[in-house]
Amino acid sequence: MTRPLGRIWGLLALPVISIILSVVVGSLVIIVSQWLVGGSLEPGLAIDAYGALISGSLGSFNAIVNTLVAATPLLLGGLSVGLAFKAGLFNIGAQGQFLIGALCSVIVGVWLRESPPIFAIPLSIAAGMLGGAAWGFIPGILKATSGAHEVVTTIMLNFVAIAILAAMVAGPLDAPGSPSPITLDVGNSALPVIIGRNGHIGLIIAPIMAALYGFLLYRTTLGFEIRTAGANPDAARYAGMSPKFLIVLTMSLAGMLAGMAGAFELLGVTKNMTASFGTTVGFDAIAVALLGRTSPIGIILAALLFGALRTGAAAMQIQAGVPRELVDVLQATILFFLVASPVVQRIFRLKGARSGLEDTTSFAKSYGGEGGTI
Amino acid sequence: MDGLIDLVYSIPLIGLVFQFLGYLLATLPDIAPITLRAAVPIAFAALCGVICERSGVVNIGIEGTMLTAAFVGWAAGVFLLPVMGAGDPIVFGITPVLLVALALAILSGLLVASVHAWLSISVRADQIITGTIINIAAFGVTGYLNTLMAKTSPTGAGSFKPLAPPTGLEDIPILGWLVATLLAQGPLTITLLILVVVLQIFLFRSRWGLRTRSVGEHPRAAETVGIDVIRLRYRNVIIGGGVAALGGAFLSMEATASFQQNMTAGRGFIGLAAMIVGRWSPLGAFGAALLFASAQGLGQSIKIVPPAGELGVILGSLPGQFFDALPYLVTIIVLAGLVGRSIPPAADGVPYEREAAT
């Protein structure tokens, strides 16, 4: 009996301890910053803030649906980053792929807004996935051919994506007669609502994608090759695999997942696009993938956690007056304790616990020019 | 002469290239100051990268270090202004409150870099993940505090001012405008220009430089001749943090007098690209930073004074956002074109583990 429990604890211990520690750090940040800026020491404020955070994300049926809606793009983004991790690649570009995916789906969605939904919806989603895949393909092919590290190129492409999006919304996509740049509504291309007020069909598709992700990685030859290339590129090459091909393919697939997240966010939530479209999904996705230890179930759980945090943050800001950016602080501290896991393990005397990233290669190793030799 | 130029300009396609070159030459004195200003934070970031990576530590967290320092420099001014008063500037607009704020900004950079150093050198975590966490944390903490402070509509302590160069310099033929441009800068820009030269000499001509490079290439060999690899890496990463902090302080204390959410806007990463393109040397990195920044200077210049003729029509038809994206595009293209021939220090990014004493 103790064996399986021990194994589950080994998997959960570090993430759970990291989350608890970050809640403690978050409380300190709330109290100290309020004291510095506001001049009054209110220890109760932290409890108010977390109370508002929880009731705003889980306190009612609508709040729970909102949490699920917020978790959907995080789940897909987490899969995107996680898949790249498995191949030894660091996809910081999920944000750009997300934006380009949303842009492509709004173009097709608006174009098909009066067509039958049975055509309009799948085509709009497919456009987003293709757009994201293309945006992931670029850093992949750059890394495979020239060795330019994906960390730098994907960050640059994030900024290029923002510029393209702004140019398109202010230019060709701008709805006639609107006072500020905004596209037309996607009309019939909008995702059908299946639960609550705004629980769109993506809520079901995203977990299916997580299952496919697990199937691809652990039940197919391609998945085996991706994991091998990530764990040991030399062994992969020696076994006759092509690490260059795998880099391009994995980055494209990762981009496709992030693009799908953008498509769902656009077709299911905003339904049109303004120049300020865009959230921090791509960056949250990194936290989701790390906290979820790149496993499908872990990523689902981590996405739910961060979806709840993002949803509750608005209530926290209104009810307790604590800025919603606190969620970013919590996210960073969770990651900090995860990365400092050897130290956390020593302090809490955990022997078997694993942070989940041990079997991926060091990203830093392929930095600069060395990746070009693969 | 004018007739010849018109003739060259009117050649199809190739004429456009000549029109572009002509425009560049004509606007160079106008673009140069914009370019230098845009290059300063990128160059500070690149120098930080050089110091860290020459000793074998990859620092992706430069962006976050800069953002933290930019915030601290501005926020310290807000808090200290009522206490210390504005004071009278002597030169460069330097007031006591600004100096203290700058010192705190540098201190914050040293602190953030210490965290990176601890995680990547002692904990031996993956350095790229460590740096990313620093970036997320800096984004979160500065955003959180900035929102909190915005409620009180804060007043900053102002900014450093450029030196007024002696008049008449521009009239010196050919290079007068260049000398005037270099002199008409704020204290942090001038610090950068000095730092580039000093670092170039120190890295290749001093004991510290030799040790740094040996630790970055072959730490095991360095240790056998008595160099403390761990200590040297700690020192370099922390010094690098101070240099990056100067870049951050430049943004909120010299280029502007305020802080905006995420105001570094990827400059830390462009700095890393500049370091790679500049082949891990301070002078090269500065040159590359100027190259990347010139894309921004050119973009602004085209927006304000578009070139005449056919070229102007073509450039004018591009959306303004194209020029916003230009620095990032140039970075990608140059990086992809050059990186294969640019070789990083051999032990870059590899945590060092002492051999166990037997």
Query: Are A156 and B337 inside 8 Å of each other by CB?
Result: no
The pLDDT tens digits for A54-87 are 999 999 999 999 999 999 999 999 999 999 999 9
Q: From CA B286, how far away is CA B259, in angstroms rounded?
A: 25
* Nearest CB neighbour to B140, from listed A33, A286, A331: A331
Report the candidate in A271, A264, A165 with the shortest Cα–Cα distance to residue A207.
A264
Q: What b/e sequence results for A328-364 when a residue is b if at least 16 CB atoms lie within 10 Å of its CB, and e otherwise?
A: bbbbbbbbbbbbbbeebbeeeebeebebbbeebbbbb
Mean pLDDT of A83-98: 92
Q: From CA A158, how far away is CA A254, in angstroms rounded?
A: 15
A177: left (phi over 0), alpha (psi -120 to 50) or beta: left
Percent of chain A at pLDDT exceeding 90: 56
pLDDT value at A158 more than 60: yes
Q: Name which of B60, B124, B262 to mutate to probe chain A: the one with the most chain A Cβ atoms within 10 A of its Cβ.
A: B60
- Residue A154, class by beta-carbon neighbours within 10 Å (0-12 exposed, 13-18 middle, 19+ buried)? buried
- Cα–Cα distances (Å) from A329 to A291, A309, A336, in that order, read 15, 11, 10
DSSP code per residue over A281-344: HHHHHHHHHHHTTT-HHHHHHHHHHHHHHHHHHHHHHHHH---TTHHHHHHHHHHHHHHTHHHH
Q: From CA B49, how far away is CA B125, in angstroms rounded?
A: 18
B207 touches chain A (CB under 8 A): no
Tokens of B60: 């992706």
Q: Which amino acid is at A48?
A: D
Q: Which phi and psi angles does A194 have, rounded to 5°?
A: -115, -20
Nearest chain A Cα distance for residue B34, angstroms: 20
Q: How many residues does chain A have?
A: 374
* Nearest CB neighbour to A362, from listed B276, B332, B349: B349
Q: Where are the alpha helices (DSSP H) in A87-116?
A: 94-111
The pLDDT tens digits for A238-278 are 888 888 899 999 999 999 999 999 999 999 999 999 988 87
Q: From CA B326, how far away is CA B304, in angstroms rounded?
A: 16
Report the candidate in A19, A27, A34, A16 with the shortest Cα–Cα distance to residue A49.
A27
Mean pLDDT of A147-176: 89
* Nearest CB neighbour to B328, from listed A159, A328, A342: A159
CA B81-B83-B86 angle, 5° bins: 40
Q: From CA A157, how far away is CA B269, in angstroms rounded?
A: 12
DSSP code per residue over A9-68: HHHHHHHHHHHHHHHHHHHHHHHHHHHHHH----THHHHHHHHHHHHHHHSSHHHHHHHH
Which residue ranges make up each domain of chain A? 66-311
For A96, residues 6+ apart whose C-beta sits below 8 A from its C-beta are: A135, A154, A157, A158, A159, A160, A161, A162, A282
Q: From CA B203, how far away is CA B211, in angstroms rounded?
A: 9
Q: Which A residues, 76 through 135, put their C-beta within 8 Å of a C-beta on chain B?
A: 90, 92
DSSP code per residue over A133-173: HHHHHHHHHHHHHH---HHHHHHHHHHHHHHHHHHHHHTTT
Q: From CA B124, how far away is CA B314, in angstroms rounded?
A: 52
The pLDDT tens digits for B300-358 are 888 777 777 777 788 777 887 888 888 889 889 888 887 556 678 888 888 888 776 55
Query: Are B141 and A283 inside 8 Å of each other by CB?
Result: no
Nearest chain B Cα distance for residue A290, angstroms: 9
Place of tokens 């050897």: A342
Q: From CA A154, how far away is CA A23, in angstroms rounded?
A: 31
Q: How far is CA B66 from the centre of its chain?
A: 9
| Residues of chain A contacting residue B146, judged by C-beta atoms under 8 Å apart | 325
A286 touches chain B (CB under 8 A): yes
Which of B39-43, B148-152, B164-168 is predicted most confidently?
Answer: B39-43
Q: Which B residues, 2 through 61, put their C-beta within 8 Å of a C-beta on chain A?
A: 58, 60
- Cα–Cα distances (Å) from A318 to A65, A69, A312, in that order, read 20, 21, 10
| pLDDT of amino acid A39 | 75
Tokens of A369: 């020019």
DSSP code per residue over B72-111: HHHHHHHHHHHHH------STT--HHHHHHHHHHHHHHHH
Q: Which B residues, 137 through 166, put their C-beta within 8 Å of a C-beta on chain A?
A: 137, 139-141, 143-149, 151-152
| pLDDT of amino acid B47 | 97
Place of tokens 């010299």: B254
Task: Pick one of 3.40.50, 1.10.3470, 1.10.1660, 1.20.1280 as the CATH number of A66-311.
Answer: 1.10.3470
As a whole number, the mean pLDDT across chain B is 86
pTM of the full structure = 0.89
As a whole number, the mean pLDDT across chain A is 87
- Nearest-Cα residue of chain B relative to residue A361: B126
Q: Which helix (H) or strand (E) holds A193?
A: strand A193-195
Mean pLDDT of A140-152: 87
Q: Which A residues, 176 through 235, put their C-beta within 8 Å of a C-beta on chain B?
A: none
B82 touches chain A (CB under 8 A): no
* Nearest CB neighbour to A335, from listed B128, B133, B143: B133
Which of the pair, B19 or A303, is modelled with greater confidence?
Answer: A303
CB contact at 8 A, A370 and B349: no
| Residues of chain A contacting residue B342, judged by C-beta atoms under 8 Å apart | 368-369
CB pairs under 8 A between A and B: 179
> For residue A365, what pLDDT band results from cuts at 50, 70 and 90?
low
Which residue ranges make up each domain of chain B? 29-264
Query: Are B273 and A152 inside 8 Å of each other by CB?
Result: yes
Q: State whether ipTM is beyond 0.90.
A: no
Q: What b/e sequence results for B4-33 when a residue is b if at least 16 CB atoms lie within 10 Å of its CB, and e otherwise?
A: eeeeebeeeeebbebbeebbeeebbeebbb
Place of tokens 């572009």: B20
- For chain A, first and last CA: distance in Å? 46
Strand partners, A274: A182
